[in-house]
Structure 1
Amino acid sequence: MTPRARPEAPGVAPPRFATDIVTFYHPGFWGLESADALRDWAVRNPGRFWERVMDTLAEAGVTGLELTFAPGDIDSALRAFGDAPSFRRALRSRGLRVVSAFVAGGDAPDWRHGGNLPAIVADAERRAAFLAEVGAEFLVTGLPMRTTFGTRPPFFVDAAYMSRMADIAHVVGEAVAAHGVKLVLHTESNSTLWYERDIDLFMALTDPRYVWLCPDSCHIALGGGDPVAVARRHSRRVALAHWKDAVKPIDVELTIDDTVFAQQQPYMTELGTGIVDWPGWAEAMSRTPGAGVVLIELDEAADPLAALRAGVAVAQAARE
């Protein structure tokens, strides 16, 4: 039986449920043997890829989608449908919409040094223009990754570094705002926006008119932080949030390289089976500008339909 959601205040619409496209990246869901095989197949068959994703979302009752790295990226949608308006119409015919796009993958310019600011801005404007055409509001990105602890010379996430990141974020935020899109920063594990202290410092250095926050309940917990406390402290800056559970804080120093995301996976778990305080998180989210979307993040679910339904049930129960 589906849990009954907490009644909304008069005149307030219930939230829309959404998910990250990475939910659909398990090769077994596609009858394939590896992530590489899935990427290759999706490049050759973008239309079939998107048809199955959209049909599954509609069946699950999850009506929002966050795009990210290939195969579920902006370029894939354009290959499948030709242009942004056609993609929007295909989604709308099933009651779906794009909520956001996450800047990820090797094609995105790196913020670390900032000498490539024109390229960073041009890339963000391209993505924002697409989002505006499909009716989405949020361009989500992260700050650069930390380096492995003990690396020489050391890399310090200090005030000078955060000031540089804030300067870049202001320029990008202003550029995408011209398209009606908000720049939203995500709290990724092992990045320079991970610990509670990182988040507080970056938020203090950025203009709330141009830079917003996407707290990820799992990643904040993996850094030993309190996701609920972060959400409450920065409630007026939360435009979107990722609802995801964690087994426990990461208790070792991971090697920060191309394998770091795979190294993090054992610390992540299905909603409701980990350490996140879901009633507290739901209450905090209800007080934010991002209250209208509950974005459930389920990395590479072998059965996306079942996983999405289970995630929605946990989120609904937390809001009762």
Structure 2
Amino acid sequence: MTPRFATDVVTFYHPEFWGLDSADALRDWAHDNPKAFWVRVMDALAEAGVTGIELTFAPGGIDSALRAFDSAASFRRELAARGLSVVSAFIADADAADWRLGDNLPAIVADAERRAAFLTEAGAEILVTGLPMRTTFGTRPPFFVDAAYMTRMADIAHAVGEAVSRHGVKLALHTESHSTLWYERDIDLFMALTDPRYVWLCPDSCHIALGGGDPVAVARRHAPRIALAHWKDAVGPIDVHLTVDDTIFARQQPYMTALGTGVVDWHGWADAMSRTPGAGTVLIELDEAADPVAALRAGTEVALRAGKQVSLRAGTETANASWE
């Protein structure tokens, strides 16, 4: 059985897809027309043959879905009518509770529980988040991602993971570029400090590669704890110190590329993913594709070829997912 394909809503954020001239124009239009926004996203997903969606920051977040359809249950029905479903939601909103200081734990937990309740009603069970961003290299005073810092992050993750687990939801941490969960060492340290019953991993093949890491090696080491993964390609490691500010996400874009055109070993990645609890979903992330339908079709072809090679070499008896 072939895994289901999914994508993050950010795939549809290119203004050209909407006939608009800027990201700001898209945000404004989608805010004023949430139902029209979601209907077009759903139609494009169905056209691309991608059946799963990960919610993210505005305009494709939980609040937008609720404004468009009034409830998670109604949103779920609209998706199901097109053969679609929610896979996960990413805590990436500008107004999300900040983990940096760790002195607002009740607010952090309450925010996560609200999202988990939505996911449960929407038929999904994975809440994705990231750790806070690093500071620009050379900043004074320096900010160190050390054992004390990671212990504090682990404490927060435990509290959030336990809270959302009561809703039947898994907390999965995403390996974002320039965050404090970016380098292979960051990932290994954080995973060692957290309880596998409450804290899961969402590795992003592109971002790990951008940090000079080996996405396949990371996936193999932490396979039992991978609830979901982002399939994305990279042109190579980021070899300069980028300024970490509000523009960092845009300035990372030139280092990202379409699946199959970069440095990620897709056969190795598919093999590692086939041995994880998240093997049933392949989430292809394509930031702001001008033609998301074509880009998703091309991405799924790359993933299918890699997965079929795994099935042919390993046989389905050694893998959790078959790509027949």
What TM-score results when the alignment is normalised by the length of structure 2?
A: 0.95
| Letter aligned with residue 235 of structure 1 | A
Q: CA deviation at 1:109?
A: 0.9
Query: Where in structure 1 are there 5+ consecutive unaligned residues?
Result: 1-12
User: d(CA) in 2 for partners of 1:180 and 1:299?
Assistant: 29
User: d(CA) in 1 for partners of 2:292 and 2:229?
Assistant: 20
User: d(CA) in 1 for partners of 2:190 and 2:281?
Assistant: 24
Q: Determine whether 1:198 maps to 2:186.
A: yes
Would you say how many aligned residue pairs link Structure 1 and Structure 2? 308
Cα distance per residue 1:135-157 (max 9 Å; x no partner): 00100000000000010110000
Give the structure 2 partner of residue 10 of structure 1. none
Q: Determine whether 1:280 maps to 2:268.
A: yes
Give the structure 2 partner of residue 7 of structure 1. none
Q: Determine whether 1:138 maps to 2:96.
A: no
User: d(CA) in 2 for partners of 1:261 and 1:43?
Assistant: 22
Cα distance per residue 1:166-194 (max 9 Å; x no partner): 00000000000000000000000000000
**Identical-pair percentage:** 82
User: d(CA) in 2 for partners of 1:29 and 1:124?
Assistant: 31
Cα distance per residue 1:44-87 (max 9 Å; x no partner): 11111011100110111100000000000001001110111100
| Letter aligned with residue 26 of structure 1 | H
Give the structure 2 partner of residue 227 of structure 1. 215
User: d(CA) in 2 for partners of 1:44 and 1:215?
Assistant: 34
Q: After the TM superposition, list the runs of 4 or more consecutive aligned residues in structure 1 that deviate by more than 6 angstroms.
A: none
| Letter aligned with residue 76 of structure 2 | R
Alignment of 1:33-72 (within 5 A): 33-72=21-60
Q: Determine whether 1:297 maps to 2:274.
A: no
Question: How much is the aligned-residue C-alpha RMSD, in angstroms?
Answer: 0.5
User: d(CA) in 1 for partners of 2:3 and 2:156?
Assistant: 32
Out of 193, 199, 213, the residue aligned to residue 201 of structure 2 is: 213
Q: Determine whether 1:165 maps to 2:150.
A: no
Out of 290, 299, 318, the residue aligned to residue 311 of structure 1 is: 299
User: d(CA) in 2 for partners of 1:244 and 1:214?
Assistant: 12
User: d(CA) in 1 for partners of 2:45 and 2:93?
Assistant: 24
User: d(CA) in 2 for partners of 1:162 and 1:138?
Assistant: 22
User: d(CA) in 2 for partners of 1:305 and 1:190?
Assistant: 29
Matched residue of 2:186: which SS?
A: helix
User: d(CA) in 2 for partners of 1:131 and 1:304?
Assistant: 25
Q: CA deviation at 1:14?
A: 2.1
User: d(CA) in 1 for partners of 2:274 and 2:94?
Assistant: 35
Q: Determine whether 1:108 maps to 2:96.
A: yes
Out of 243, 247, 253, the residue aligned to residue 255 of structure 1 is: 243
User: d(CA) in 2 for partners of 1:212 and 1:296?
Assistant: 19
Cα distance per residue 1:200-233 (max 9 Å; x no partner): 0000000000000000000000000000000000
User: d(CA) in 1 for partners of 2:166 and 2:2?
Assistant: 29
Out of 28, 47, 65, the residue aligned to residue 16 of structure 2 is: 28
User: d(CA) in 1 for partners of 2:59 and 2:44?
Assistant: 16
Give the structure 2 partner of residue 3 of structure 1. none
Cα distance per residue 1:236-273 (max 9 Å; x no partner): 01000000000010000000000000110000000000
Matched residue of 2:240: which SS?
A: coil
Q: CA deviation at 1:106?
A: 1.3
| Letter aligned with residue 181 of structure 1 | V
Matched residue of 1:319: which SS?
A: helix
Q: Determine whether 1:243 maps to 2:235.
A: no
User: d(CA) in 1 for partners of 2:138 and 2:78?
Assistant: 50
User: d(CA) in 1 for partners of 2:307 and 2:171?
Assistant: 27
User: d(CA) in 2 for partners of 1:137 and 1:115?
Assistant: 27
User: d(CA) in 2 for partners of 1:84 and 1:59?
Assistant: 23
Q: CA deviation at 1:313?
A: 0.3
User: d(CA) in 2 for partners of 1:74 and 1:91?
Assistant: 14
